[in-house]
Structure 1
Amino acid sequence: MDWSNMRLHAGAGVLSLLMFCMARSSAAAAVPPVRVGVVLDLTSDLGRKSHTCISMAVDDFYHKHPNYATRVELRLKDSRGDLVKVAHAAEELMDKNAEVQAIISPQTSSEDAELFAGIVEHSNIPILSSSTATSPASSSSLRSRFFVRTAPNISSQAAPIAAILEAFAWRAAVLLHEDSPYGVGLLSALVHAFQGSRGLTDSVAVPRDATDSRVDAALLALKTMPTKVYIVHMPPALAARLFRRAVVAGMMSEGYVWVTTAGVGNAADSLPNPGDIDYMQGAVSLRPYVPATDQVRSFWRRFKARFRQENPGLEHDDPTVPVTLLWLYDTAWAAAAAAETTFRTAQPTAFIDALLVTKFDGLVGRFGLVDGQLQVSVYEIMNIIGNGARTVGFWVPGLGITTSLYPSGARKELKQILWPGETAAVPIGWNKSPSRGSLRVGVPVRRGFTEFVEISTDPSIATDRVSGYCIDVFNAVMARLDYTVAYHYQPANANMTYDELVKLVHDKKADAVVGDVTIRSGRMKVVSFTTPFTDTGWSMIIAQKDRNNSMWIFTKPMTPELWLTSLAFFLITGFVVWAIEHKINPRFRGTPWKQLGILFYFAFSTMVFSHKEKLESNLSKFVVIMWVFTVLILTSSYTANLTSVLTIQQLNPTMNEWTDSDYVGVQADSFIEGMVREMGFDEARFRRYTSMDQYADALDKGSDNGGVTAIFAEVPYLRLFLSRYCQGYSMVGPIYKSGGFGFVFPKGSPLVEDVSRAILELAEEDGLTPIDNKWFRHPGACVGRRSRGEDDARLGLWRFRGLFLINAVVSCFMLLIHVTMVVSRERASGSQLRADTEATTGVMPWLRAWLQRFDAFEGPQGEPVHNCQGTVEENPLQGPATGADLQDDAMGDSDSTPVGDTDSGRNAASIPVSEENSRLVGGSSTRPFPHEPAPPALAPM
């Protein structure tokens, strides 16, 4: 083996390596360092640990990347825990002479974090904050892209907290937070996460410098609330003081629930005072999950050793290391990685641009910024027990709460938790027995419909007695929940509206309101309602048409006045027609009794249009035409009304049937007024009522008599009305949607869901039926309508007055014309009349002569013939007719028996006639047809 050659090659390799190292050293010396400012409170233990952590991160970075050209040079500023000095240190670092490329701010104080978030708005120097005390608004990318949050966003904790409440069926909680932007920052996220059956009952702000008395006052206010689930969102120091005072107030005992955010969970192992954890026993806390990798364990060992080396004067055996230092370590590592890219470009935003895209596997997992914030997906749920915190589960997005991070074998629950008071029993989350005594329940004062709520004086007890349907339902519900109730009524509430009464609950002057309180969307914004315990919706009632089983029901459609008037006009019309026709029409002739029969028969046959008498005069025809028109309207109206009485059980008026003369009734002081107004009703047509008797009286009167056509109200009130007035009224039309009646509780009260569930259980078990029967079905209390309602639906004379007036005028006018014509004709040819009247002496004989002349039969042609039976017309075929022949002809009709078959005292067979004349003689008329010439008379044989 040629050892000399090997030594030669080895020497050349070593020489080359030395030359390469010298070249890299020269290049590194040629690149100026990247200065990064750090503001710390070196007077605190956490500040000194933060300095050690940042230094370790920079050294570890360059130990792993020895060939990088850049080097990060830390510019340390001690703020000494003073906010003014923090601002001064930041100003010095941002000065041009400092030439810093970025500032790292690991402060846990919310004031420090908010200060840096405000400073960055006026500077282009990136600020890297690993503080968990920064509000979400401060770290928003919309504020400034130069403020980078390298710690988990506090708003991401809202979903895990909501999942914890859901896991234990707690429906409400109270938020206790620091009075700062950091403390308020979680509020909106919780409200959004609690949408549904869970909600925040209240939020209490505690100043950072609050005295013990101030904290005690806040805890006392919480203690009087029924909600016993508290969410604590504070920095560790303030949270430790709060729990210390909670122990004194007896609120870290059995029945209470305390859930803390990551601000406490991250520092559970490194609280300011070693004894602070003793006051948090039983609390449940969150913290971002950090895998216990070999890299993390190595960091803890090296950190503790280096911290002892850098702080030899401090006495500690094993310094506690908060988990927040892991994010600070990754922050310093990210700054060193971005610095390597910065020297290659002269862009003023080179550092922030490089930082925002930096990605690597850090101590807490994959480091990567989204919208300028570090994203943390998994949260660890811990139970503070003994001297530390025990993991009881995890929260994973999309999976929820699990006992393990491995979905295949994970159970969707938490491990056993030891709650305050060292009990394993899960607290119910609200207190059944408030410290002030029984539940204070307010009741409304009703002016009507006292069946729902009534307050009366009971001499046997010192207080007022509360009763009613709503009270019985509430008592039954609360009895299932084993809850003590005390009803409170103040005379001052007598004039309160229901909205004002609801506001008492919102202002915490009452624990609940029980009564006929309608669930409305506007009210739900300030209070919570249970599920409805009555029918929902609103509709209207009207007065029914009465059904009558009487044998005289056919007389019901018309009033007696209309019946009598119609009968009178039947007789008057028959008389007018007879008076006009009896002189010229043989069908209206005969004996007085026969003429009277014809008068009545003709008059009443027009009612069914069955009259067959042929009329000769145009005057009588006009009278009959007008009368038939009147009879047609009367019979049509009668038929329609009788049909309604016999077959229709109720009227169903629609919006198209309302007229300007219709009034509508509404319940006083009700939302129904606004709803009816939106339907198009004029408020001037409203009439307001408060009791069932007023409802019935208004409907019976009707709109024309000071009442109403219909009354709009909620369905429970209408049901109660119909249970009392069970005859003559109906609820008609559609049922419009509304919330129904519900019990009122403060916003987010845990009682809402329990009471709602108890109402549904009562309904399913038919437990509400006895209460309904007690208040809505009164045996023997059913009353019918008053008789006035019957007459309002009948046909009255007043409605047909115009029709009868026209008919009366026509009849009188036609009769007057006929009389005038007769008198004129008699005066023109009055020789016979003068002879008859001159032969008589006295008024009565003269009048008799006039009547005999008026009753004389003239025939169709108006040519009188005198005999003992009246006037006759000579038949050109048969000669003069006898009285018997005339009488038979007058009483016959157009199809009467032929003359040849009558008993006329002559032998018709002995008269030879032609076939044509035979047909003519056998006809019904004694005169030729108007369109044929009269045949010549036949000579006797």
Structure 2
Amino acid sequence: MKTEIICHPKQIHVLFFFIFMSIMLTHHHEMVLVMGEKTKDTIDNNEFKVGVVLDFDSLVSKIGLTSMSMALFDFYSTTDDSHKRKLVLHTRDSHGDIADAASQARDLIKNVGVQAIIGPLTSLQAIIVADLGNKAQVPIISFTATSPTVSTSQNPYFIRTTHSDLAQVNVIAELVKTFGWKQVVPIYEDTEYGRGVIPYLTDAFQAIDTKVPFRSIISPSATDAEILKELYKLMAMQTRVFVVHMTESLGIRVFQKAKMIGMMNEGYAWIITDGLANFLGSFNSSVIDSMQGVLGVRPYIPRSIELDEFRARWKKRFAQDNPDTEKLELNIFGLRAYDTVWALANVLERLETMNSSHLWKSQAVYNRTAMAASGVSQIGPMLLQLMHEINFAGLSGDFNLIDRELQSDTFQLLNVIGNGGREIGVWTTSNGISRDSSSLITTRAKDYSTPKDNLRAIIWPGESTVVPKGWVFPEDGKKLRIGVPVKRGFTEFVKVTRNSSVSNSSYVITGYCIDVFKAVLELLPYPVLYEFVPFEKADGTTAGTYDDLAYQVYDKNYDAIVGDLTISANRSSYVDFTLPYTPSGFSMIVPLKDQTGSNWLILFKPLNGNLWIAIIVFFLLTGFVTWVLECQDNNPAFRWDFWNQPKTIADFLFSITTFSANNVHSSMAKVVLYVWVFVFVMISSSYLAGLTSMLTAHRLEPTVTDVYELIKNRQNVGYVEGAFVYTMLKKMGFNDANLKPYYSSEDFKEAFTELRKKEERIVAAFDEAPYNRLILAKYCHKYALVGPVYKTGGFAFAFPKGSPLVPDISEAILILRENEGITKLEQTWFGNHKGCSDPDATAYKSSLNLESYYVLFGITGFFFIVAFIVIVGKLLWRNTSLPVMVDNMWQCLRNFWQYIKDLWHRLRQGQYQPIESLDT
């Protein structure tokens, strides 16, 4: 489209008022309009009058008028001569003025008696003229008014024989998505045409997560100085991707000024809509030179022999019609004008009757405007219906109106190189972006995530082959102000130290979060200038909470936040977070206690009470059954003796536990014994394994496991001061009085002990995963994580809304995580804590203690004493005197000592031989 008239939406009603007031003053004497005798005399029953309202000075109008006249000639020269009715065009010049366009349209309807009007040129003119057509039921057919503000649904007699600007919205959005640009600035002219599509374009960008930080509006009447001022404003911003939506007259000036100030150099990306792309073939070399590297979108025109022949004839005819006009190339508007007239001529052939006396029906209304008293076209509704039904293959493609609007589902993607636009791909609603038009004959699934490989090679501004990243840092060299929290503890994450050796304010800022940020920046393909700025008061203390710190980015006091800042929904409403660089979630951490219990009974713990009873019962039962079976077999060892038989059975039972019972004769008794030996071996193996585990390890168990018991009993729990966990604990139901902050890992440990007052002491703490790792690394096997993990966002870096750094840094975080860079930094700052986070962790003892063997030594000592008492009792029973008994005992001890001495002597001489027995 060529020319748009400057008019703010609020001025439309005022324009309507003046237009119709002028019409009323001119024609106040006409109250009721009927086809008069003058009109009736000039009407030829075989003539179908169609009005044309265009701006004759515009390029689009000149191209369109030539195409329309050729369409009439071609239609009636290629068909038979039996036409009852012929289409006749009555042209009017609007001079680019809204009032003139409305006045000319009214004159055509009232005085000429046209049955349809082709035009007007601009979208704003079309809105007003369409209203006249609605009242007179005369179809208004426009091949140039592309703005969606001219609605076919609100104007029942408006027909758009071109595409709406909405058709190219998805094309531009997918192009932006293909190159991964996260910020785009639209530059459009301040007209109905320019403004109409911008809201829809912005919505399309938001759907692909691309921000529109600024909208640049330029008036068609803007001076060169005003254009430069607007471009300098854009140049000072970070965004380097621009979508230009304006007519050719203003667009030429914008690009020439952009080239002059260096905005067509490497790093910039420009996309033009069809308002400019359709005229690339008509621009002179100086204009094309200022647009090198620009991407363009325009409707796709299928190639055909008929089109090539028409293009050649059109050039000759245009030169004849416009001898003073520079050489122009036929574009989509010329083809749409041709197809529009061809469609009307076809519709005319289908009209059943045409009698001039029936063309108008007088209709008196009660409106004060002169038009309100006009007649209403009798043929208009029929013409509207036939236009909706017509379908043919035109020069511009398939001509098929849907809801009185031509549909465009294929667009050509161009790259301005050399002398004009070079095709780099096509876009269709079904295939998305494809490399060339040959893909139009294939069918594949709809896919709007087309990679850049689906486009041919592109030369960007500055003759660069590198895809612009879409943004740059401001050219004034300003560093990013990175806000960091000032912490009382947990300085492993962020530590701010004032450098007292420097006279001015200087800081040394270290920590895990700082190192991660620096490592991420090293992975970016471009340098980032920054400086850390502590969030502190004059006295060096923190200037607020973490929420306050994040809000400083929204207030533009900081350009980013680096620290142990958790992603939350509230903070995400005013800042953009990168991907988290730490595990997400928080959980409860509690002290561990040794659950082994009293070790003096540990010998009985491998087996429970029921199993001990079963063993004893079957132990005795086995002996009894064996005794019965051996007695039946007349085994002399098992003969009944009231005093000796129990002793025999007991000796036998204990002997089989050592597999040395050889005095069993009965086969059935042996079977019973073999089964018992098998059971005994299995039980003893399990017993020894369990006892070994108990004797060599402590079982550590958490002191608290149920969060809701803590809430119910109103027990104190701790949290890191200023952490996001405080808000979550409040939501879980903890009272504020029971929430106790701590500031460091040392303070955390103290909070569980009696060093704190009872009312300040805690029984559990809730920390986010990074804090928990640090605590467990320091106090391994003293604390454990229990209960569920409550989801949070994890630690991340915060940037202003729409910051182009966010996707790049998020990608760098993923790379750093995949190459184990973050893991190495965690080990550097937090150490290795593997096994410390398991609440069922087992701490192995370095040595055994006496307590574990109290019962074992007790039983042994008990039997020593019993055996000694029995021996002494026997001696006394045999009337052995006490002195003789003592002498015998001393003699045994002397013999044993002599044995030890001889053994030691033989070992030293290497003459050791086993001593078979000791002399008694």
Q: TM-score, normalization: structure 1?
A: 0.62
Q: Identity over aligned residues, as a percent? A: 37
Question: 1:305-350, CA deviations, whole angstroms, 9 ceiling, x for partnerless residues?
Answer: 33333345x265x443333211122122223333444555956522
Aligned position for 2:916: none
Aligned position for 1:70: 85
Q: Shift of residue 283 of structure 1?
A: 1.0
Counterpart secondary structure, 2:579: coil
- Structure 1 CA distance for aligned equivalents of residues 45 and 433 of structure 2: 51
- 1:89 matched to 2:104? The reply is yes
Aligned position for 1:515: 563
Rate the CA distance shift 1:553–1:444 in 2: closer, same or farther, 3 A.
farther
- 1:275 matched to 2:286? The reply is yes
Counterpart secondary structure, 2:211: strand
Q: Shift of residue 230 of structure 1?
A: 2.4
2:589·2:783 contact (CA, 8 Å) conserved in 1? yes
Deviating more after overlay: 381-390 vs 541-550: 541-550
Rate the CA distance shift 1:497–1:397 in 2: closer, same or farther, 3 A.
same
- 1:216 matched to 2:228? The reply is yes
- 1:679 matched to 2:691? The reply is no
Q: Shift of residue 366 of structure 1?
A: 0.8
Match of 1:324 among 322, 330, 333: 333
Q: Shift of residue 302 of structure 1?
A: 2.9
1:226·1:749 contact (CA, 8 Å) conserved in 2? no
| Amino acid of the structure 2 residue aligned with 1:534 | T
Q: Shift of residue 215 of structure 1?
A: 3.3
Counterpart secondary structure, 1:740: coil
Counterpart secondary structure, 2:282: coil
Aligned position for 1:535: 583
Aligned position for 2:320: 309
Q: Shift of residue 734 of structure 1?
A: 0.9
Q: Shift of residue 240 of structure 1?
A: 1.7
| Amino acid of the structure 1 residue aligned with 2:104 | A
Question: 1:556-600, CA deviations, whole angstroms, 9 ceiling, x for partnerless residues?
Answer: xxxxxxxxxxxxxxxxxxxxxxxxxxxxxxxxxxxxxxxxxxxxx
1:262·1:287 contact (CA, 8 Å) conserved in 2? yes
- Structure 1 CA distance for aligned equivalents of residues 699 and 535 of structure 2: 53
- Structure 1 CA distance for aligned equivalents of residues 161 and 569 of structure 2: 43
Aligned position for 1:483: 527
Q: Gapped runs of 5+ residues in structure 2?
A: 1-41, 355-377, 443-451, 603-697, 837-920
Match of 1:262 among 253, 268, 274: 274
What is the RMSD of the two structures over their aligned residues, measured on CA atoms?
3.8
Counterpart secondary structure, 1:75: strand
Rate the CA distance shift 1:355–1:476 in 2: closer, same or farther, 3 A.
same
Alignment of 1:911-930 (within 5 A): none
Question: 1:112-139, CA deviations, whole angstroms, 9 ceiling, x for partnerless residues?
Answer: 45555676676643322222x6333433
Aligned position for 2:242: 230
- Structure 2 CA distance for aligned equivalents of residues 350 and 196 of structure 1: 42
- Structure 2 CA distance for aligned equivalents of residues 29 and 82 of structure 1: 30
| Amino acid of the structure 1 residue aligned with 2:63 | K
Aligned position for 2:789: 735
Question: 1:694-730, CA deviations, whole angstroms, 9 ceiling, x for partnerless residues?
Answer: 5445444699623444333432233334444556433
Alignment of 1:256-655 (within 5 A): 256-271=268-283, 275-312=286-323, 314=324, 316=326, 318-341=327-350, 344=353, 346=378, 349-407=381-439, 413-431=454-472, 434-446=475-487, 448-461=489-502, 462=504, 463-481=506-524, 482-489=526-533, 495=543, 497-499=545-547, 501-505=549-553, 510-545=558-593, 648-655=701-708
- 1:48 matched to 2:48? The reply is no
Question: 1:102-161, CA deviations, whole angstroms, 9 ceiling, x for partnerless residues?
Answer: 332252x45445555676676643322222x6333433x443333322222323323333
Rate the CA distance shift 1:409–1:709 in 2: closer, same or farther, 3 A.
same
- Structure 2 CA distance for aligned equivalents of residues 235 and 473 of structure 1: 49
- Structure 2 CA distance for aligned equivalents of residues 347 and 685 of structure 1: 84
| Amino acid of the structure 1 residue aligned with 2:335 | L
Rate the CA distance shift 1:86–1:61 in 2: closer, same or farther, 3 A.
same
Counterpart secondary structure, 1:355: helix
Rate the CA distance shift 1:266–1:547 in 2: closer, same or farther, 3 A.
same
- Structure 2 CA distance for aligned equivalents of residues 696 and 91 of structure 1: 90
Counterpart secondary structure, 1:152: coil
Question: 1:368-418, CA deviations, whole angstroms, 9 ceiling, x for partnerless residues?
Answer: 112332122222122212332222322233333333322399995333332
Aligned position for 1:812: none
Aligned position for 2:622: none
| Amino acid of the structure 1 residue aligned with 2:150 | S
- Structure 2 CA distance for aligned equivalents of residues 121 and 672 of structure 1: 64
Aligned position for 1:149: 160
| Amino acid of the structure 1 residue aligned with 2:403 | D
| Amino acid of the structure 1 residue aligned with 2:90 | R
Q: Shift of residue 443 of structure 1?
A: 2.8
1:92·1:98 contact (CA, 8 Å) conserved in 2? yes
Q: TM-score, normalization: structure 2?
A: 0.64
User: How many residues get paired?
Assistant: 657
Rate the CA distance shift 1:412–1:145 in 2: closer, same or farther, 3 A.
farther
- Structure 2 CA distance for aligned equivalents of residues 655 and 241 of structure 1: 70
- Structure 2 CA distance for aligned equivalents of residues 347 and 682 of structure 1: 80
- Structure 2 CA distance for aligned equivalents of residues 373 and 327 of structure 1: 12
Rate the CA distance shift 1:763–1:341 in 2: closer, same or farther, 3 A.
same
1:204·1:218 contact (CA, 8 Å) conserved in 2? no
Counterpart secondary structure, 1:304: helix
Q: Shift of residue 506 of structure 1?
A: 5.0
Match of 1:199 among 179, 197, 210: 210
Match of 1:756 among 810, 831, 841: 810
Question: 1:720-745, CA deviations, whole angstroms, 9 ceiling, x for partnerless residues?
Answer: 34444556433321112222112223
Counterpart secondary structure, 1:370: coil
2:54·2:93 contact (CA, 8 Å) conserved in 1? yes
Counterpart secondary structure, 1:36: strand
- Structure 1 CA distance for aligned equivalents of residues 203 and 757 of structure 2: 53
- 1:714 matched to 2:768? The reply is yes
Question: 1:759-802, CA deviations, whole angstroms, 9 ceiling, x for partnerless residues?
Answer: 222222221233213332399xx9xxxxxxxxxxxxxxxxxxxx
- Structure 2 CA distance for aligned equivalents of residues 218 and 690 of structure 1: 52
Alignment of 1:799-814 (within 5 A): none
Aligned position for 1:134: 146
Aligned position for 2:893: none
- Structure 2 CA distance for aligned equivalents of residues 193 and 81 of structure 1: 32
Rate the CA distance shift 1:385–1:657 in 2: closer, same or farther, 3 A.
closer
Q: Shift of residue 533 of structure 1?
A: 0.3
Counterpart secondary structure, 2:796: coil
- Structure 2 CA distance for aligned equivalents of residues 752 and 660 of structure 1: 45
- 1:175 matched to 2:186? The reply is yes
- Structure 1 CA distance for aligned equivalents of residues 337 and 472 of structure 2: 43
Bigger relative CO (Cα 8 Å, ≥ 6 apart): 2
Q: Shift of residue 747 of structure 1?
A: 4.0
Rate the CA distance shift 1:356–1:698 in 2: closer, same or farther, 3 A.
farther
- Structure 1 CA distance for aligned equivalents of residues 575 and 826 of structure 2: 27
Q: Shift of residue 534 of structure 1?
A: 0.5
Deviating more after overlay: 388-397 vs 542-551: 542-551
Question: 1:441-469, CA deviations, whole angstroms, 9 ceiling, x for partnerless residues?
Answer: 33344455333233331235543332222
- Structure 1 CA distance for aligned equivalents of residues 742 and 188 of structure 2: 51
Counterpart secondary structure, 2:115: strand
